[in-house]
A = this chain, B = another copy of it.
Amino acid sequence: MAAVDLSTHPGHLARRLQQAHYLLWNTMVSEEITSPQFAVLNALVAEPGLDQRTVGERVGLDRSTVAEVISRLSRRGLLDKVRDPQDGRRFLLRLTDEGARTHRRLTVRTARMNRVFLAPLSAEEQTLFFDLVRRVSEAAEGLRDPAAPLTGVEA
């Protein structure tokens, strides 16, 4: 008797939005390469030679997840992992030719998919969509652990 309307819950909507995107990605972009994998390839096109941790930072994946994604890409020969001679803890990552080719091919398709995904919105609404979603995400990320100057808030 006290059930809630989940369509007024932004978190629920976020999950549904991501599901919808996953589906469209599979249909229009690739069944082999996932969206997070593409994000990693893209980060390495922008900055070849990054280490795992930094790649994760760039695309928003934690240490464990980024490790798995990278091991898959590496297994498929899309990137190379080399110990940093300067710092033996790090692995330096670099796309192979095949990896760069894959990134180029998918870039075209993702652009097409993004157009379809956002088609229900007008140009102004699309701008607004980005603005609103970005502001909400960034604010929530900012609540992480900012040395918590005001921990008494949650009372």
Contacts and interface: CB of A to CB of B under 8 A. Distances in A.
Interface of A: 1-4, 6-25, 27-28, 35-36, 39, 42-43, 45-46, 59-60, 103-104, 107, 110, 113-114, 116-121, 125, 128-130, 132-141, 143-144, 154
B132 A10 contact: no
* Chain A interface, DSSP helix/strand/loop, else mixed: helix
A45 B136 contact: no
A119 B135 CA distance: 10
Given A14-B18, A19-B137, A117-B136, 18 more contacts: A2-B103, A6-B59, A9-B114, A11-B113, A12-B39, A12-B59, A13-B130, A13-B133, A13-B137, A14-B17, A15-B18, A16-B60, A16-B141, A17-B17, A17-B18, A17-B133, A20-B137, A27-B143
